[in-house]
Amino acid sequence: MNRIAARARAPFTAARVLLLAGCAALPLAGCATMEADSPVPMRAPTQQDITGLKPSGKVTLTEAFVGGAGVGKGVLTMKGKTYPFRVVGTVMGPGSVSRRQVSGDIYKLDDPSQLAGVWVEGTGPLGLDFDTGGRSELWLENKAGAIMHLVGQSEGLTLSMGQDELLIELAK
């Protein structure tokens, strides 16, 4: 077993992966009417959502995707402290063979514990998004209402339906 596969399996139990898969299926199942009860946010944020807001902290994130799933790690810096975290993600669409490294601001985060959970990521307009590398810009939001705006570099190819999901778990 190579080191990447060992790292990908270590931080997440089978139950967490099944939860993420179930959460990822909700938008595809047409469950938008259940938005208030859904563990998955139903829309990705935009610049308009953070206009006039002061950042709560900073985030760095590195992810690698193969097929419809990806793994990664990151660090939240908030109020002078750092909080490492792990990520499992899904690509809504045919999939991806890519790697990205991004950083930026997080808004509306009152406590580091609010980072954990499912985040929706807007990757572009409805339809297929062909990411062939270069600049990467991510807009993410969770059910707590926290918003991340991350910018950086990506390499590889992603075929996405315009909205993906990430499951973040704070490292212990």
From residue 86, how far is each of 50, 65, 79, 98, 169 by CA, in Å? 25, 14, 20, 17, 5
Per-residue confidence (pLDDT) for residue 160, from 0 to 100:
66
Tally the residues of the chain.
172
Sign of torsion over alpha carbons 55, 60, 64, 69: negative
Per-residue confidence (pLDDT) for residue 63, from 0 to 100:
93
Q: Are 85 and 25 in contact (CB under 8 A)?
A: no
For the chain of 172 residues, list the mean pLDDT of each consecutive stretch of 10.
Answer: 46 48 45 51 80 97 88 97 94 77 97 95 56 77 94 81 83 88
Per-residue confidence (pLDDT) for residue 130, from 0 to 100:
56
Supply the pTM of this predicted model.
0.72
Domain spans of the chain, in order of start: 3-170
